[in-house]
Amino acid sequence: MPDTVELSADHVEPRERVEDALARVTSLLRRQRLVEGLIVDQVGDGGDAALRNSAVTQTIKAELERTLARLHPADIAFVLEALPLDERLYIWELVKADRDGEILVEVSDAVRESLISSMDTEELVAAAETLDTEEIADLAPDLPQEVLDDVFRGLPVDEREELRAAMSFEEDMVGALMDFDDVQVRPDVTLEVVLRYLRRFDELPSQTDQLFVVDRNETLQGVLPLPKLIVSDPRLTVGAVMEPPVVKLLQHEKADVAASAFERYDLVSAPVVDTNDRLVGRVTVDEVLDFVRQRADEEALAQAGLREEEDIFASVWKSFQNRWTWLAINLVTAFIASRVIGAFEGSIQKLVALAALMPIVAGIGGNSGNQTITMLVRAAALGQVTPGHARKLVRKELTVALINGLIWGGVMGLIAMLLYRQVPLGLVMVLAMTLNLMLAAIMGVVIPITMIRFGRDPAVGSSVMITAVTDSGGFFIFLGLATLILV
């Protein structure tokens, strides 16, 4: 079979690494800019037409188009993300229009916005029409209403229903991860019939590792994993070989629940049912993987006070908008700390060493408190922190704080003593650091546990709060003790 050999030899050609593709695109763009520069030098700024039609730029453009055509949509998305705005939009124009939709689904929100704003209604409608309903729902928040209306009118009735359903879910619900590509079979047919039914497809939906067994009312009866379908006797009925689903997800559950289930039970797909146990769709592991990654990114960004994923080439104005809230909040807490210091200005004037030492006391409290909070927030995210354990946790954290306070406070107290040749100053330093560490320990447990008790996400804001407490608290403890003992 020479045909097969030919095919396989061709097939194992390794896919180009996306980093290499990016490097090639970047170097082609640079060459093009050089050429354009030369032409402008020769014919002046008016030579626009000549420029556009020059043989060299045409060759480079064709080479870029060829490179893009070979790339997976996710890889084109990667290249677009890595380019500054002007080059990004130039490349976006070179991408074949029929691939626009799948690429828009892949890029980050920030970059998607920049691409969509460069397209007109017609292009957007055409792009959306190449997508599945759940993908359209993903794009929907970024699309102009006009485009959405057009797309909606273009859909068959059942898909309109699906789109409406998909758009009704919050981003953090199971429904937002769901697709409608579930293959359904009845329990009373034989595997032979199922196999014949499947052969009528050209291919199965991606990530299909199991078929969903439903009765006439679409109630979920069980699942039929493809491997089981393959290894079982074809004369058996679906009902005889089907298995219970490892989990059944509900549309309105938190997506976190789905993510934990996929991680815990190593799932590839899972059925989604409504409250009447009727199958409405499925969640697949690729969506879960994206969700987990995105959630982790959001947390890291929120930790640093960025409201959302920021395109590194975003405009100055967009960057400002994304960052100002956090800076403002921190200014407020810094101002409060500053007023605490202000209250002790008399003591500082008498003993100016206090000014130099006080940031050390505040700093170590913030660091230590953040350690406690981070540990608790992660355990809480896994559902492992119950308010019942609060006392046990506080006791442990207090002991750790006491040890840290005596050791590091001792070290710093000794240094302060030697530096300023005052034994009492050293003792105040030890005492203040120990007390501020203990304050950090208590608040590090109390803040997240209180937030959990009130149904808030402890990951958001805990870190600002603890730093505010340990800064103002640290200054107060240190300057207060110094005023009592030294001044």
Q: Which is nearer to a copy of itself, 143 or 249 (CB)?
A: 249
Q: Which stretch binds a copy of itself (CB under 8 A): 69-77, 145-153, 156-164, 172-180?
A: 69-77
Establish if 368 lies at the interface with a copy of itself (CB under 8 A). Answer: yes
Binding mask 423-462 vs a copy of itself (x if CB under 8 A, - otherwise)?
----------------------------------------
Q: Min. distance of Cβ 126 from a copy of itself in angstroms?
A: 24
Residues 208-267 that bind a copy of itself (CB under 8 A): 208-209, 213, 220-222, 226-233, 237, 239-240, 242-248, 260, 262-267
Residues 156-185 that bind a copy of itself (CB under 8 A): none
Binding mask 2-31 vs a copy of itself (x if CB under 8 A, - otherwise)?
-xxx-xx-xxxxxx--xx--x---x-----
Are the C-beta atoms of residues 311 and 81 closer than 8 Å to each other? yes
Q: Which is nearer to a copy of itself, 113 or 277 (CB)?
A: 277
Are the C-beta atoms of residues 436 and 401 closer than 8 Å to each other? no
**What is the spatial distance between Cα 273 and Cα 214, in angstroms, rounded to a whole number?**
11
Q: How many residues bind a copy of itself (CB under 8 A)?
A: 151
Q: What angle do CA 99, 102, 103 make, to 5 degrees?
A: 80
Q: Which is nearer to a copy of itself, 123 or 309 (CB)?
A: 309
Q: Which residues of 160-182 are buried (b: 16+ CB within 10 A; e: fewer)?
A: eebbebbbebeeebbbbbbbbbb
Cα dist from 286 to 87, 172, 269, 408, 479, whole Å: 30, 16, 9, 47, 55
Q: Which DSSP string do the residues of 210-241 spell out, in sequence order?
A: EEEEE-TT-BEEEEEEHHHHHHS-TTSBHHHH
Burial bucket for residue 438 (CB in 10 Å: 0-12, 13-18, 19+): buried
Distance of CA 165 to the CA centre of its chain: 23
Q: Which is nearer to a copy of itself, 51 or 189 (CB)?
A: 189
**What is the spatial distance between Cα 53 and Cα 31, in angstroms, rounded to a whole number?**
16
Q: Which is nearer to a copy of itself, 52 or 293 (CB)?
A: 293
Q: Min. distance of Cβ 252 from a copy of itself in angstroms?
A: 15
Picking from 117, 171, 141, 112, the residue whose alpha carbon sits closest to that of residue 298 is 171
Picking from 87, 90, 80, the residue whose alpha carbon sits closest to that of residue 113 is 80
Picking from 251, 252, 282, the residue whose alpha carbon sits closest to that of residue 267 is 282
Give the strands of the sheet with 210-214, arranged side by side.
Answer: 184-185, 210-214, 220-225
Q: What is the DSSP letter of 429?
A: H
Q: Which amino acid is at 19?
A: E
Residues 301-360 that bind a copy of itself (CB under 8 A): 301, 303-306, 309-310, 312-313, 316, 319-320, 323-324, 326-328, 330-331, 334-335, 337-339, 341-342, 345, 348-349, 352-360
Establish if 109 lies at the interface with a copy of itself (CB under 8 A). Answer: no
Q: Min. distance of Cβ 86 from a copy of itself in angstroms?
A: 11
Q: Which is nearer to a copy of itself, 143 or 347 (CB)?
A: 347
Q: Min. distance of Cβ 220 from a copy of itself in angstroms?
A: 6
Establish if 199 lies at the interface with a copy of itself (CB under 8 A). Answer: yes
- Report the residue from 129, 159, 181, 277 that binds a copy of itself according to the rule CB under 8 A: 277
Q: Min. distance of Cβ 324 from a copy of itself in angstroms?
A: 7
CB neighbour list of residue 294: distance below 8 Å, 6 or more residues apart: none
Q: Min. distance of Cβ 240 from a copy of itself in angstroms?
A: 6
Q: Which is nearer to a copy of itself, 94 or 198 (CB)?
A: 198
